[in-house]
Amino acid sequence: MLRYWIAIATILPVWLGLQGSATAEGIGDGPAKTQVVPLYVSSNRPLMMLTIGNAPLAPVAFDTGTDENILQRTFADRLKLKIVGSAPLTDNASGQSRNVPVVALEEPRLSGAMVSPKTAEVLDYKIPNEVGVFGPNSFAGNYVIIEGPLNRLRIVPKNSGYLPPGPGEPYRDHLPSYPITINGLRVDAHLDSGNDGILVLGGALASKIKLTAPPTIIAIAQSALGSQNVLGGQLDGSVRIGPLELRGSEVTFADDGNSANVGFPVIRQLTIVLDPANQRSWVLDPSDLHSPLSDLAGTFGPRVIRTEGGRLTYQREGRPAHDLRYLGGDLFEMSDTRDRIQFYRKNGRVVRLELITEAGEVVTEHRTN
């Protein structure tokens, strides 16, 4: 079921929270290929380039706060997309619901990556610079790795051998969720890249969270089927999610619940792994190192990984060495180039790596020693 909240505030920026690229070398036998999908950031909203059949490129938002694909009605009408059914839609802000049309998409791609399922709901709404909203479920059968600092997604097939670190956190209401701590209070939070605010809290938390001053009405939010006042203030303390700590953050209060919503300004500082099929989330943390660095050392074609003085280094034959900074989940980054190294294991042993350049090129090397 689609759940969404379109909030057009009179003071806050516009944000949309919906509930409800280059192809790399293969990293093994069969169809397992990693794809890099660039995100183009506009006013703290991540955009991707959608193609449907032979139609021109069109910008759509990447929103982890939706489990459906959404298109503007005017855009769908212009492309004469065929209606193939309808779907229930519930507005979290007002509690109202209705059915909306569902259209078929011919060979849809997001920055070159194939989209599945090949359908989208159609809504009457307008937000500048975009014609729709697509979420992680668009990449069925894959891990979706959000590399926020590099403004991109890595789409990693399930049959690639990639394994996220540990069991992960379960989705909540079918959407990516991860626990955060606010002044020591643990709160389950949606990870919502469609929200361009920092932190939205349920109204029931207003009495539990210390602010520098009492919350005040800072905006009127207009959702698809209703409107409501938006309260806000400044946190007197800190918020922690994974390795990231924010102090004195601006917060807003939405409904009457006890949950939270972490927006894109926070997400773009993190590396997040999503498993849409099994509804699990991970926030990578460099303090979460479960095996010694020596397990990663070895020769991978012309590339050598070494441990030197308690640190890991990468060197290609005939070129300078680079220190590697651990990000979590067998993922490292070269601090001087921002290129990343993803290691892959089989039966616990590292058997190959991917070099993912800052520009989005992916090179795979199998372990040779």
Q: What pLDDT sits at residue 223?
A: 53
Q: Token pair of 117, please?
A: 């399922």
Least-confidence region, from 84-93, 176-185, 209-218: 84-93
Least-confidence region, from 10-19, 186-195, 211-220, 249-258: 10-19
CB 159 within 8 A of CB 143: no
- Given a cut of 90, is residue 231 above it in pLDDT? no
Q: Give the highest mean pLDDT range of 16-25, 101-110, 188-197, 223-232.
A: 101-110
Q: Which strands, in side-by-side order, build the sheet including 169-170?
A: 22-26, 33-38, 152-157, 142-147, 271-275, 280-283, 169-170
Confidence class for position 125, pLDDT limits 50, 70, 90: confident
Task: Name the nearest CA neighbour of 1 among 65, 64, 62, 68.
Answer: 68
- DSSP for 104-148? E-SSEEETTEE-BS-EEEEE---BTTBSEEE-GGGBTTEEEEEEG
What lies within 8 Å, CB to CB, of 73 at 6+ separation is 122, 123, 124
Q: Match 């990639």 to its residue by tokens.
A: 162
What letter would DSSP give residue 150? G
Angle, CA 115 vertex, CA 75 and CA 48 arms, to 5°: 60
86 sits in which H/E element: strand 83-91
Task: Name the nearest CA neighbour of 340 among 310, 362, 369.
Answer: 362
Q: What would the pLDDT profile of 96-110 be if each residue is shown by its tens digit?
A: 778 999 999 999 999
Torsion from C-alpha of 93, 99, 100, 106, nearest 10 degrees: 120
Overall average pLDDT of the 268-283 stretch: 97
Half-sphere exposure of 44 (CA within 13 A, CB side): 19
Q: What is the length of the chain? A: 369
CB 106 within 8 A of CB 52: yes
Task: Report the C-alpha gap between 322 and 334 in whole angstroms.
Answer: 6
Q: What mean pLDDT, rounded, does the chain reach?
A: 86
- Given a cut of 50, is residue 55 above it in pLDDT? yes
Q: What would the pLDDT profile of 299-354 be if each residue is shown by its tens digit?
A: 999 999 999 888 999 999 999 999 999 999 999 999 899 999 999 999 989 999 99
What domains appear along the chain, each with residue ranges and CATH number?
2-142 (2.40.70.10), 169-283 (2.40.70.10), 293-366 (2.40.128.50)
CB 37 within 8 A of CB 18: no
